[in-house]
Structure 1
Amino acid sequence: MKWEGNRESDNVEDRRGSGGGGFGGRSIGIGTIVIALLGSYFLGINPATIISLLSGGPGQLQSQQAPAQRPPADDQTARFVATVLADTEDVWTPIFRDSGASYIKPKLVLFSGQTPTACGTGDTAAGPFYCPGDQKVYIDLEFFQTMRDRFRVSSNFAQAYVIAHEVGHHVQHISGIMDKVDQARRGGTQKQANALSVKVELQADCFAGVWAYHANQARSILEDGDVESALKAASAIGDDALQKQSQGVVVPDSFTHGTSAQRVRWFQRGIQRGQLNDCNTFAAQQL
């Protein structure tokens, strides 16, 4: 992936080395299913209740945090993240403008260990996630090492796909999609809530593809093997693949992110034409 020399976003907040804290509320993360499957915890809550977190509202501040600061200029990985975030800004701003709306740029927070968010205490083990309550993407850069070690995925573009997926959740939030999902989820069964979560995640995958299409059209960011690496990442974090890895059996009713094949398919749909209309997972007869 060609990224060096491109614009870096000013919307990156570096909390690494600062203390943690807690809020209460909801979050949507690419790594939450890993936590549920491994029997760990996410935001200090039992994995069985992760899906219910998605339908909660932003909580109340419980602790203070250090003032926001920029990443150091010599941090290559942080510069990469800032460049990818800038690229998502440059793609989504005109898309929203063309539809008569304004794109609200999200903040991206770098943290280590734990950090307070409007959705609860963000934890490294959860992987990257988006918090609608404060409109921020949270990521511990150690997740990229996890991608290399656990999923055997190491390319810059695969890492950019992860960031673009979380920004996709932000697009869903400011577009009103998440509010509609929350309304549909209320009063439903756990199985129905899981099915809605799958559609949310697959749409975010498709939105990541839309970003990649437009970014490549404008700045020729893609190199040989980049798309394949992103598809490998999408496949590695499918619910079926993770369940086979962690427990040896697959339980479709418990899926919250979609199968490997589904995640690959919806990312491909986004990157093929860059059309938002292609990303309507909620109207799709087959995911």
Structure 2
Amino acid sequence: MILLSFDIEEFDMPFEYGKQIDFAQQIAISTEGTNKILAILAQYNIKATFYCTATYALNKPDIIARMVSEGHEIASHGYYHSDFKPEHLKQSKDALEKISGQTVKGYRMARMMPVDEQEIFKAGYQYNSSINPTYLPGRYNNFSKPRTWFYQDGVLQLPSSVSPLVRFPLFWLSFHNLPMGILKWLSKITHRKDGYLNLYFHPWEFTDLKQPEKFGFPGYVSKNSGADFELRISNFINWAQKKGYQFSTTGGFVAGLKQY
């Protein structure tokens, strides 16, 4: 099983690199990328999970409606992308449920930062996908966390996928920088070990990020972005389907786990 998920947020990442981008552009860039994602998913008849900030959803309810109409799952990515308070957990869930008409079951913390699991449970979420169980310099060190799903404080934890043994992360940056042959091999051995892959991306990756004067991103972020990233994601999905891998929303996968 392959779980594709996308963090739909106001595109504020340039702030981390000393650049300014106004709010209208943040929303526009994320929307353009989201539409590209939806087109790819429709082409391959795949359903995915969209972790949305309430801020994005309130500004683009038409895009949320399109996600729902095309059979995708809406989950929470917080209320804002660059501001967090515990009360935002319930507030974002309520806002997304009102806009989407779905029951919002899942949560992912912005930038995979730590979050109190008891607060996640109190807010009414069934699962949390906020752990990257590897080491990323300057961001997190989660070698002590399990590689695969587990329960904590009444909430199912679904870490993003990393390879066995060395815990090489199979996240968005890997899809920009690794040769496709190596990426597919790592995905194959990880799927064989775990029985599933949990992969996450962002809509702004489908924009040409090789604009240092505008975004300030280093080469490992901007490499293979825009049209090149569309081709890479399509290539990966096509390969996975030919190999017989099935795709699912995260909520659908979690519902299957609860049967055991």
Do the two structures share a fold, i.e. TM-score over 0.5?
Answer: no
TM-score with structure 1 setting the length: 0.27
More helix by share: 1
Q: Which has the higher contact order (CA 8 A, sep 6+)?
A: 2
TM-score with structure 2 setting the length: 0.29
